[in-house]
Amino acid sequence: MTVSELAGQIRIELTPLRSVFVKGEVSGVRASARGHVNFTIKDAGATLGAILFQDTLRRIGIPPEDGHEYLIRGRVDFWAQTGQLRLVVDQMQFDDLGRMRAELEELKRRLTAEGAFDPQRKRPIPFLPRCVALVTSPTGAVIHDLQETILDRFENMAIRVYPALVQGAGSPASVAAALRRCNLESVADVVVVARGGGSFEELYGFNSEVVVRAILGSAIPVVTALGHTSDRTLADLAADAECRTPTEAGARVVPRKADLWRALEERRRRLEREASGRLGRAASALEDRQRRLEVALPGLLRARQARLTAIAQELLRLSPGRQLERRAQGIEERRARLQATAQRMLRARSAEVSARAAGARLQSSLQGRLQQAQAALEQRRARLGGVSPERVLGRGYSISLDEAGRVLKSASQTSAGQRVHVLLAQGRLATRVEEVSDVR
C-alpha cells in the first residue's frame, strides 16, 4: 500500500466511530485564524485531540474552557496530511455542573457581603422614559418581541439597540461593553438586558462578575429579561427590576399611551369640576361679602365722619391761633383795667395834689409803664407766632394723631396696621402704619 492508500483504509475502519459520546476534561484550548477551536480531551489514562468548527461553535454557543469537564458528541476522523486522529465535535455540554454551582454560590456570597443585591441600592424605573435601550442579540425573536411590545404600547417611543453576545464565553465581556457604551452615550432613561431563556449553562454568562459589576456601575436603571428559568441569575439579583420574559420587560418599562390619555382626560374632567365648584363658592362668598359691606358701609362712614368732626373741633380748640387770641384778649382786658385804675388814681391824686407838675409826672410814669407792658405783649406775641403749629406746619412739618385724636410724640405709641391721621399745612391725610421703628 501507499501511505495514501493506508490512510484511506484507516478512515474506512473508523466508520463505526462516526457518532460517539465522550466524557473528559478539556485542556489546551486554542483558536485558529479561521475561528475554529482546537483542544484536547483527556482522562486519567488517555488523551485525544479534538476540533470544534466555527459553524458548530456558533450553533451550540458554548466554547470549551480549560479545566472543565464536558460530555461531547462527535465523530472520529483521521487527518491524512498530518497523520493525526481527532474527534470532530458536533455537540457538547458541561459535565461538572456541581463545581460550577459551587463557584457561583461563592461569588454570590461575596457580592452579597458587598451589598450588591441590597434592595435599598436599587434605582426606581422611570415612569415614562424618553428612550429605551436594549442590550441583546440583534437577531432572533427576543429583540423582535421587545420592540413590538414597546411600540404597541407607545408607538413613537425612541428605542436604541446595543448589540451583544448573550451566550458563550464571550457574552459576559460583550454585555458589559454594551452597558458601558449605553451609559457613555447617555441617550436612554432605562436599559433592558434580555435573551430568550436557556439552560443553566447557556445562562452562565449572566452569572459572571463582570456582568454584575457592569449593572452595578450603570448610571441608567437596568431591567433584566433573561427568559423563563427556575434559576435567578446574579444579573437578575443586581438589576433594578427583574422580568421573566421580553414581553413583560417591554410592559414594565413603557406605560400604555392609551391608558395615559384616559388618565389625563379623567384628571382634566376632575380639575374642571373642582375648578367650577371652587369658582362658584368663591363667587357666592364674594357676593355675600359685598352685601355685608353695602349694609355696613353707611354706618361705618357715619361713625368715621363723626370721629373726624370731633377731632377737627378738638384741633380747633387747641389751635395756637385761638390760644393767642384768648391771651391777647386777656392782655387787652388787663390793660383796660390798668388804664381804668390809672384814671382813678390820677383823679384821686389830682384831688389830693393840686400841683400840675406832680400830676404830670404821675401821668408820665403811668404812660411809660403802659408802653413797657405793650412792648412786652408784642414781644410775647412774636415769640408765640414763631413757634405756633401753623408756622411749623408751613415749613413742611406735620402733626400725627392716633384714632383717638391724641398727638403722637413717639413711634412706640402706635403699631403696625394702626390707622393714623396726619395734619399738614394744607389738608390732612388718613394713613395706616406699615412698620414701627423706635429710634432712641
Q: What is the CATH number of the domain that holds 7?
A: 2.40.50.140
8 A C-beta contact, residue 134 and residue 161: yes
Q: What is the CATH number of the domain that holds 166?
A: 3.40.50.10550
One domain, residues 62 and 113: no
Interatomic CA distance for residues 68 and 103, integer angstroms: 12
8 A C-beta contact, residue 274 and residue 281: no
pLDDT tens string 294-352: 888 888 888 888 888 888 788 777 767 677 777 778 888 888 888 888 788 877 777 77
Read off the pLDDT of each residue in 101-119 and give the average, rounded to a whole number. Answer: 86
Q: Which residue has the cell 382786658?
A: 333
**Residue 260 CB neighbours (<10 A):** 14
One domain, residues 232 and 333: no
In a domain, 273, yes or no: no
Question: Which of 255, 270, 300 corresponds to the end of one domain?
Answer: 255
3-state per-residue secondary structure call for 145-170: HHHHHHHHHCCCCEEEEEECCCCCCC
Read off the pLDDT of each residue in 218-239 and give the average, rounded to a whole number. Answer: 86
Q: Whole domain around residue 403: which residue ranges?
A: 399-432
Question: Which of 205, 222, 255 corresponds to the end of one domain?
Answer: 255
One domain, residues 153 and 237: yes
User: Would you say residue 63 has pLDDT above 60?
Assistant: yes
User: Would you say residue 204 has pLDDT above 80?
Assistant: no
Interatomic CA distance for residues 371 and 44, integer angstroms: 153
Which residues fall within 8 angstroms of residue 150, CB to CB, at 6 or more apart? 132, 157, 159, 250, 253, 254
Q: Which residue has the cell 359685598?
A: 290
In a domain, 282, yes or no: no
In a domain, 306, yes or no: no
Interatomic CA distance for residues 110 and 117, integer angstroms: 11
H/E element holding 102? helix 97-113
Give the per-residue pLDDT at 358. Answer: 61
In a domain, 127, yes or no: yes
Cα distances from 417 to residues 301, 402, 428, in angstroms, run 19, 12, 19
One domain, residues 54 and 180: no
Q: And the C-alpha cell for 180?
A: 458601558
**Residue 369 CB neighbours (<10 A):** 12
User: Would you say residue 50 has pLDDT above 90?
Assistant: yes
User: Would you say residue 177 has pLDDT above 90?
Assistant: yes
pLDDT band for 37, please (50, 70, 90 cuts). Answer: very high
In a domain, 358, yes or no: yes
Question: Which of 62, 95, 128 corresponds to the end of one domain?
Answer: 95
DSSP string for 351-368: HH---HHHHHHHHHHHHH
One domain, residues 79 and 125: no
pLDDT band for 194, please (50, 70, 90 cuts). Answer: very high
Interatomic CA distance for residues 216 and 38, integer angstroms: 36
In a domain, 166, yes or no: yes
Could you tell me the pTM of the whole model?
0.48
In a domain, 155, yes or no: yes
8 A C-beta contact, residue 160 and residue 105: no
Give the per-residue pLDDT at 388. Answer: 66
One domain, residues 64 and 153: no
pLDDT tens string 128-155: 999 999 999 998 889 999 999 999 999 9
Interatomic CA distance for residues 196 and 142, integer angstroms: 6
One domain, residues 381 and 346: yes
pLDDT tens string 369-402: 888 888 888 887 777 766 667 677 777 788 888 8
Tally of domains within the chain:
4
One domain, residues 76 and 171: no
One domain, residues 84 and 28: yes
Interatomic CA distance for residues 236 and 310, integer angstroms: 88
In a domain, 275, yes or no: no
One domain, residues 406 and 420: yes
One domain, residues 105 and 227: yes
Please give the angle made by the CA atoms of 177, 35 and 79, to the nearest 5 degrees. Answer: 160
One domain, residues 63 and 126: no
